[in-house]
Structure 1
Amino acid sequence: MRLWSLHPALLDRAGLVACWREALLAQAVLAGRTRGYTRHPQLARFRAHPEPEVAIAAYLHAVADEPKTRGYRFDTTRIEATASERIGTTPRIPVTDGQLALEWRHLLAKLEVRSPERWTQSVQAGRPLPHPLLVVVPGDVEEWERAT
């Protein structure tokens, strides 16, 4: 499971679809509807949020906004409606600049192989933008990160 700290606009189509599916799985885990993935480290920042289900709904809505700019869409009815109603007031989640840099390098390596055109655009952009739910703070890679 990879719940990117990067802005969804930086992801290629495969990455965006995977992020959507994995965030939907995270939503189910946080709502207690699954038996698997309950201890997945990527969920730590959502569990630390005062309203984890609202935070994952906000995350999903931002991911769902990106395909609209590309001419396709995700089924937003799969996002918990009760959580969606409270998104406007949810606090943003901090992410360290070290985590963002690690994910940026990870994404660039993936794009170089599977989407060279997007890789070129990303390299020219220079630096990564965070997901709209996140706010960047100084620091090293997050403790929950398991990437090598």
Structure 2
Amino acid sequence: MRLWSLHPTLLDRAALVAGWREGLLAQAVLAGRTKGYLNHPQLQRFRTTADPVRAVVTYLAGLRSEAAARGYRFDVTRLDTVPDDELRLTVTAGQLAYELDHLRSKVRLRAPDWEPRLTAPRPHPLFTVVDGPIEAWERP
């Protein structure tokens, strides 16, 4: 499961589509509808909120907005609730840099024309950047 902290505009088609699919899986896990991935480390940041399901839905809404801008159809009826546009989580600068490098390595193989867009890390609208190394939940 990879729930990118990067801004959805940085994600190539494969990362955006996979992020949507894996975000929906995260929503099911956090809502208690599945027994798999219960202890996945990337879910920790959503579990720290007052409403983890709304937090992941807010994350998914950011992906859906970018998908719509590209002409993709991500089904909003699959979201369990409405996003919270005021919600903000933090992500470290080290995590964003790590994810940008990780995405670059994937894009070089599957969509090399996309790589020039990956010049600087920007966070998903849900996240506010704070100083710090790679997040403790990341498994590099």
Quick one: which amino acid aligns to residue 23 of structure 2?
A
Among 106, 127, 138, the residue aligned to 2:102: 106
CA offset digits 1:48-103 (Å, max 9, x no partner): 1121111101001100011112122200100013xx1x61343x010000000000
- Number of paired residues? 140
Give the TM-score of the pair, scaled to structure 2: 0.96
* 2-structure distance, mates of 1:76, 1:39: 26
- Structure 2 counterparts to residues 78-117 of structure 1, below 5 A: 78-81=78-81, 84=82, 87-90=84-87, 92-117=88-113
More helix by share: 1
Tell whether 2:129 aligns with 1:131. no
SS for the counterpart of 2:129 is strand
Shift of 1:138: 0.2
* d(CA) in 1 for partners of 2:72, 2:86: 28
What residue in structure 1 maps to residue 76 of structure 2?
Answer: 76
* Match in the other structure for 2:116: 120
2:3 touches 2:19 (CA, 8 Å); kept in 1?
yes
**What is the letter of the counterpart of residue 87 of structure 1?**
D
Gaps spanning 5+ residues in structure 1: where?
none
Q: Give the AA of the match of 2:138.
A: E
- RMSD, aligned CA: 1.0
| CA–CA distance in structure 2, aligned partners of residues 79 and 61 of structure 1 | 9
Following TM superposition, the consecutive aligned residue runs of length 4 or more in structure 1 with deviations greater than 6 angstroms are none
Report % sequence identity: 55
Cα distance in 2, alignment partners of residues 71 and 3 from structure 1: 21
Rounded to whole Å, the distance in 2 between the matches of 1:100 and 1:68 is 24
- Alpha-carbon distance between aligned partners in 1 of 2:69 and 2:132, rounded to the nearest angstrom: 32
User: In the alignment, residue 69 of structure 2 is paired with which amino acid?
Assistant: T
